[in-house]
Amino acid sequence: MTTSATLSFSHGVHPEYFKHLTDAKPIEQMPFAETYVLPLGQHTGAPSKALVRKGQEVRRGQMIAEPGGFVSVALHAPVDGTVTGIELVEMPNGKMGPAILLRTDPYSTQQLNLTPPTPPEEMDLKTFLISIQSSGLVGLGGAAFPAHVKFSIPEGKTCRYLMLNGAECEPFLTSDHRTMVEHPDAIVDGTAILQHFIRAEKIFIGIEENKPDAIAILTEKFNRSGLPAEVVPLKVKYPQGAEKMLITSIIQREVPSGKLPLDVETLVSNISSIAAMSYWFRQGIPLIERVVTVTGTAIHRPSNLLVPIGTSMQEVVNYCGGLTNEVSRILLGGPMMGMVQKSLNSPVLKGTSGILALTSREVKDLEEYECIRCGKCVDACPMHLNPSLLGLLAKNGLWEEMQDNYVFDCFECGSCSFVCPSGIPLVQSFRVAKGLLREQQAREKAKATAV
Amino acid sequence: MFGEVTISILLLTGLGLLFATILAIAYKKMKVYEDPRIDRVESMLPGANCGACGMPGCRAFAEKLVGMEMNLVKCTVSSPSSVEKIATFLGIDAGGGEKVVARLLCAGGTKESSRQVAYSGHLNTCRGEAAIAGGTKDCNWGCLGWGDCADACDFDAIHMNANGLPVVDIDKCVACNDCVEICPKGLFTLMPTTQKLIVQCKSLLAGEEALARCSVACNACGRCAADSIPGLIEMSNNLPVIHYEMNELTSPVATVRCPTGAIVWLEHEKQFEDQVTSGLAVGQVDTGEFDEDIYYQ
């Protein structure tokens, strides 16, 4: 592997990046808000179980909900304050879910008074994983998948390569970029902790070429760390930061359909999660705040903010000068895969990498036409699927045929919809198909177990 | 010349006879016995191959029926008269199943529940809208109104009314479960027509919060539970749960003090066409004055 040639994958798209809005802005600490909303189901998997009652006083960093199962993590109070209730609140995905409501103690200095756990070097693997679970750590890239589950390598699988994902290929977002530039030591330290348990042959840190400052500083830090690590600059292309694309780019191996990165002996983790792991093991700080890029052409003062989890989006947007009159769409996450929001009511969650406010200039709202078989989507799909065919099947409700054409390999990156000149809602219809197929399979399974 | 023609005719006739004999023998020897009743039963079934019975089609269901492996009630699509016919033909019990229909558990149409923002997607289906942030309707549980259920219904039993709500024609509904499966909000449920007391709301919110999103939402006041026979209605997750095993004890009393009309008594259901044109959901139909003396006995 050489670092001279830029590594990449085949297919993909080149959207306009807009990173200049925030990529030079240092991370600011967001002031504490008056109230916080902490949904119990903000990670992938089983929701956490609340440990507090209404009226109870909590300390900043105190565990307020325990994991509700193996694929679940703990939740911690982001401030000193009082629990005002456990109620149903609107979540960014449009569902209503239970959440712990906190009112900040106005007289508290919000000093962290935490003791770190036993040094990880003295732990065995099991205690290490349980410790991560109790720190509430999830993948900070957006999916919020519990970190300890990802780091549990099943029997019979080996992990030769550890990859840190600093590609940040979504336009607008710069939270990982700023973390890499401002907290390289935490990243190196977190990597060393993880490497102590994973013992990978080689560690790759994948960063897109449009972040030369991050590449330079991490190369220098990792060279001095003594870890078998290499910072690899990647071609600027969307979706470079998707797990499977990153693996293909760096080690030229393809994750087979329906399999996981560990099937090609690789473990991929978001780079900010690695930094968060260092804070937990060295300083005892659980996941109570995260870096959020508040950006877009409809925000007065685009910024990178360190936001306590549970702050309402409205607060965050107000802190950044509010929205301009031109606002036409608000997204949580990037413009390609982010979740559209109908209001600013929901809170910032562990998986919120950005709040994006767009004007009608960026929002493509084409009228829908028939598919002209131009094949642009086929050239764009990084998973080498045939979105054109899948789109036609979806239009005719042929869900089983879609499954035969590997619709479940689609990870909804949005490249096909992005390039489609006919404005066909491809990804949206694939999501519908996947939902219907999953429900159908669940019903069949239930029927089979009933018999 | 003549001889050649004769030979060919004789040869071909001979061959034909030979093969016919072989086929006739094979037919006798290799015949698989099939109950002739299967054909008869199949012809009496609706032939919709809807799969509601759990079989791949009407033929398979007919085979199971003749083999006494399945109950005739499983076919919800057959009209009572054809069920009767099949039962007499096979000499079995018709099962006496009560009619089951699909009921919509939402009364919040466009008039009752608004939308904060417009949905500007191209995929104009409920499933499509629900895939984007759960839909733009204020109530997270409410009907999105694009009519996926009406499209899914093979029996033309669901029409969308002017208020953006689906109306079920209970005469045509055969309880095939298609609408139950397609609705992204899970608003349909199959119920025997004898169950007259239903809660037309799935909102888990209570009080003002629920009403802010929909004017006909259940605000979890609990009056229906308090007014009914103890144990009949139970409040759970801010919704009344009716214990239908005590169905004979249900009465319109439960609906009288409901401040929003979320719980309804379906006694004088309007004609299907009226419901479609009036734009009212089933429960908002004038249920008529009920005789208090009867129910308070």
- Put simply, the answer to whether A428 touches B184 (Cβ < 8 Å) is no
- Among candidates B122, B123, B135 on the partner chain, residue whose Cβ is nearest the Cβ of A94: B135
- Put simply, the answer to whether A342 touches B128 (Cβ < 8 Å) is no
Residues of B with CB under 8 A from a CB of A: 54, 116-117, 120-123, 125, 127-128, 130-136, 140, 181-182, 184, 204-205
Instruction: Say if B265 falls within a structural domain.
Output: yes
Q: Is B274 found in the same domain as B237?
A: yes
Average of per-residue pLDDT across A223-242: 93
What letters, b where the CB count within 10 A reaches 16 and e where it falls short, cover B254-274? bbeebebbbbbbbeeebebee
Instruction: Say if B136 falls within a structural domain.
Output: yes
List pLDDT tens digits, range A369-418.
999 999 999 999 999 999 999 999 999 989 999 999 999 999 999 999 99
Q: How far apart are CA A348 and CA A290, in angstroms?
A: 9
- Put simply, the answer to whether B117 touches A343 (Cβ < 8 Å) is yes
Instruction: Say if B49 falls within a structural domain.
Output: yes
Instruction: Say if B179 falls within a structural domain.
Output: yes
Q: How far apart are CA B90 and CA B82, in angstroms?
A: 12
Q: Is B164 found in the same domain as B123?
A: yes
Q: How far apart are CA A193 and CA A187, in angstroms?
A: 10
Q: Is B221 found in the same domain as B133?
A: yes
Q: Is B157 found in the same domain as B75?
A: no
CATH number of residue B112's parent domain? 3.30.70.20
Q: How far apart are CA A19 and CA A210, in angstroms?
A: 9
Instruction: Say if B19 falls within a structural domain.
Output: no
Please report, rounded to a whole number, the percentage of residues in chain A having pLDDT higher than 90: 81
Coil, helix or strand for B273? Answer: helix
DSSP A347: B
- Put simply, the answer to whether A435 touches B131 (Cβ < 8 Å) is yes
> Between residues A450 and B43, which one has the greater pLDDT?
B43
Could you tell me which residues are beta bridge partners of residue A323?
A299
Average of per-residue pLDDT across A259-267: 92
- Among candidates B128, B140, B205 on the partner chain, residue whose Cβ is nearest the Cβ of A432: B128
Neighbours of A398 (CB within 10 A): 15
Containing H/E element for A88? strand A81-90
Q: Is B211 found in the same domain as B146?
A: yes
From first to last of its 297 residues, chain B has per-residue pLDDT tens of 678 899 999 999 999 999 999 999 999 998 888 888 888 888 888 888 888 788 888 888 888 888 878 777 778 777 778 888 888 888 777 665 677 889 999 988 888 888 877 787 778 899 999 888 888 888 889 999 999 999 999 888 999 988 889 999 888 888 888 899 999 999 999 998 888 899 999 999 888 888 888 999 999 999 999 988 888 999 988 999 999 888 888 888 888 889 988 998 887 666 666 767 665 555 444 444 444 444 443
pLDDT value at position B122? 79
Q: What phi and psi, each to the nearest 5 degrees, are found at residue A292? A: -125, 130
Q: Is B111 found in the same domain as B77?
A: no
Q: Is B196 found in the same domain as B123?
A: yes
Selected for mutation to probe chain B from A86, A87, A88 (highest B CB count within 10 Å) is A88
Encoded amino acid at B100, one letter: V
Q: Which of B90, B124, B157 is the last residue of a domain?
A: B90
Residues of A with CB under 8 A from a CB of B: 88, 90, 92-96, 339-343, 365, 368, 423-425, 428-429, 431-432, 435-436, 439-440, 443, 447
Q: Which domain holds residue B60?
A: 36-90
pLDDT value at position A317? 95
pLDDT value at position A176? 94
Q: For residue A368, which residues of chain B lie inside 8 Å, CB to CB?
A: 122
Q: Which of B47, B70, B90 is the last residue of a domain?
A: B90
Residue from A343, A349, A250 nearest A47 by CA: A349
Encoded amino acid at A184, one letter: P
- Among candidates A88, A342, A440 on the partner chain, residue whose Cβ is nearest the Cβ of B204: A88
Chain B residue with minimum CA distance to A328: B117
Q: Report all structural domains of chain A as residue ranges with CATH numbers, in order of start.
A: 19-23+121-283 (3.40.50.11540), 376-450 (no CATH)
Which pTM was predicted?
A: 0.82
Task: Decide if B83 contacts B72 (C-beta within 8 A).
Answer: yes
Q: How close is the nearest chain B Cα to the Cα of A94, in Å?
A: 4
Does residue A195 have a pLDDT over 50? yes
Q: What angle do CA B191, B192, B193 make, to 5 degrees?
A: 110
Q: Is B187 found in the same domain as B41?
A: no
pLDDT value at position A143? 83
Domain count, chain B: 2
- Among candidates B121, B135, B181 on the partner chain, residue whose Cβ is nearest the Cβ of A428: B121
What would the DSSP string read from start to end of A145-170? -BHHHHH-PPTT----EEEEEE---S
Taking one residue from A and the other from B, the number of pairs with CB-CB distance under 8 angstroms is: 58
pLDDT value at position A1? 44
Q: How close is the nearest chain B Cα to the Cα of A106, in Å?
A: 27
CATH number of residue B73's parent domain? 1.10.15.40
DSSP A190: H
Chain B residue with minimum CA distance to A447: B54
- Among candidates A95, A431, A432 on the partner chain, residue whose Cβ is nearest the Cβ of B134: A95
Q: Is B268 found in the same domain as B210?
A: yes
The complex scores an ipTM of 0.83
pLDDT value at position A172? 94
Average of per-residue pLDDT across A224-246: 93
Instruction: Say if B23 falls within a structural domain.
Output: no
Selected for mutation to probe chain A from B117, B123, B149, B181 (highest A CB count within 10 Å) is B123
Instruction: Say if B57 falls within a structural domain.
Output: yes
Residues 6+ apart with CB under 8 A from B119: B129, B132, B135, B136
List pLDDT tens digits, range A132-179.
999 999 999 888 999 999 999 988 889 999 999 999 999 999 999 999
Q: For residue B116, which residues of chain A lie inside 8 Å, CB to CB?
A: 342-343
Selected for mutation to probe chain A from B70, B138, B140 (highest A CB count within 10 Å) is B140
Residues 6+ apart with CB under 8 A from A283: A112, A114, A116
Average of per-residue pLDDT across A268-278: 94
- Among candidates B54, B123, B134 on the partner chain, residue whose Cβ is nearest the Cβ of A429: B123
Q: Is B161 found in the same domain as B285?
A: yes
- Put simply, the answer to whether B204 touches A341 (Cβ < 8 Å) is no
Whether the bond between A239 and the residue before it is cis, its omega within 30 degrees of 0, is yes
Q: For residue B127, which residues of chain A lie inside 8 Å, CB to CB?
A: 432, 435-436
Q: How close is the nearest chain A Cα to the Cα of B160, in Å?
A: 20
- Among candidates B131, B134, B204 on the partner chain, residue whose Cβ is nearest the Cβ of A431: B131
Q: How far apart are CA A141 and CA B270, in angstroms?
A: 54
Does residue A198 have a pLDDT over 60? yes
Residues 6+ apart with CB under 8 A from A18: A171, A172, A295, A297
- Put simply, the answer to whether B123 touches A431 (Cβ < 8 Å) is no
Chain A residue with minimum CA distance to B237: A88
Instruction: Say if B7 falls within a structural domain.
Output: no
Average of per-residue pLDDT across A429-447: 92
Neighbours of B22 (CB within 10 A): 10
Length of chain B equals 297
Q: How far apart are CA B159 and CA B150, in angstroms?
A: 6
- Put simply, the answer to whether A93 touches B116 (Cβ < 8 Å) is no
Q: How far apart are CA A444 and CA A86, in angstroms?
A: 35
Q: How close is the nearest chain B Cα to the Cα of A343, in Å?
A: 8
Q: Is B50 found in the same domain as B160?
A: no
Containing H/E element for A416? helix A415-419
First to last CA, chain A: 54
Does residue A188 have a pLDDT over 80? yes
Q: Is B179 found in the same domain as B41?
A: no
Does residue A444 have a pLDDT over 80? yes
Does residue A450 have a pLDDT over 80? no
pLDDT value at position B279? 59
- Among candidates A90, A428, A439 on the partner chain, residue whose Cβ is nearest the Cβ of B128: A428
